[in-house]
Homo-oligomer: A and B are copies of this chain.
Amino acid sequence: MFGVTILGNNSALPAYDRHPTAQVVTLNDQLILIDCGEGTQTQLSKYKIKRSKINHILISHLHGDHYFGLPGLITSMGLLGREQDLHVYAPAALETIIQLQLKAGNTDLPYTLHFHALETYDDLLIDEKKFCVQIFTTEHRVPCWGFIIKEKRMPRKINKEAVLQYAIPASFYEALQRGEDYTNKAGNTIQNNVLTIPNKASKSYVYCADTRYAEKNISVCSHASLLYHETTYLQNCEDKAALRFHSTSIQAGTFATKAGANKLIIGHFSSKYETLDLFLKETQAAFANTDLALEGVTFLV
């Protein structure tokens, strides 16, 4: 299972029962929280998502609607007796803020909290056995990062009939899975693709965070299995969007088209819009396979 559950899809002001930004990525038994607006811990409870399974939290930037829920989540995890380490990846200033808050509350967490300043990474942020996370900068009013979460390509599968036929020793199977060719004692080489079957392609989720329409990011975001792009405004507010370093519906659709995404979800809706149907209509005009990032919905990557 590789999916994204939306916990909050509104921009700065909470409105119409829409919450500030937060999403949970499920990668098999791992949960990764992306952004953590005020009330995220309540949304996690509402959608029965186990906070104990969250080991990585990515904070795109330091506007409050993307992190004001983090201090509460961190302290609640402590009150719930968490023991395993928690890793927070965020702009450097967040560590100072959180440490001040813990000190003011005389709070000793029962687990170790690791801060990773996004400023100190170029590209690869997390490199785990089954997935990795890459980062890129967006065009926003304050320093802001997007995230690319990629499954690692599964090893190739052994073709059981072929390995018997060519008498490949079992000790070489791991090398075959990595893609190596086999040369026997007689000096004959058997090509890897004769002996193995390719596994399914690795999938990726690309989270574009808050951003102005940014041509520069099209290549780094290319060929996402699932792409999230903000649409704070409808198309008739294109000037306001540019001024405020946000995007419109059509811009999100255009970006998805140019980046060759498989599917697009849109969110970060301005509180000025009570209904969202025009967002879907306008964006689909530019990129057909678009869905609204509705709260509580899980999108498969």
Contact = CB atoms under 8 A, between A and B. Distances in A.
B142 A64 contact: no
A209 to B, nearest CB: 14
Interface string A84-113: 000000010110110011011111000000
Interface string A208-231: 000000000000000000000000
Contact of A94 (B12, B104, B141): B104
Contact of A64 (B96, B105, B141): B105
Interface stretch (A22-30, A66-74, A162-170, A233-241): A66-74
Contacts of A5: none
A12 B72 CA distance: 9
Contact of A106 (B38, B71, B141): B141
A146 interface: no
Contacts of A15: 45
Interface stretch (A75-83, A123-131, A256-264, A273-281): A75-83
A267 interface: no
A41 B19 CA distance: 12
B68 A64 contact: no
A56 interface: no
Give the number of times this chain occurs in the complex, counting copies: 2
Nearest to A11: B79
A14 interface: yes
A97 B93 contact: no
Given A12-B75, A75-B12, A106-B142, A64 B97 contact: no
Contacts of A76: 12-14
A100 B105 contact: no
Interface residues of A, number: 35
A39 interface: yes
A136 B248 CA distance: 52
A252 to B, nearest CB: 22
A69 B96 CA distance: 19
A202 interface: no
A69 B38 contact: yes
A13 B80 contact: yes
A133 interface: no
A63 interface: yes
A71 to B, nearest CB: 5
B72 A38 contact: yes
Interface string A28-71: 00000000001101100100000000000000001111001101
A-B residue pairs, 6 tightest by C-beta: A62-B104, A93-B104, A38-B72, A68-B72, A106-B142, A63-B105
Given A38-B42, A93-B100, 11 more contacts: A13-B80, A62-B101, A63-B107, A64-B105, A68-B72, A93-B104, A97-B100, A97-B104, A100-B100, A105-B142, A106-B142
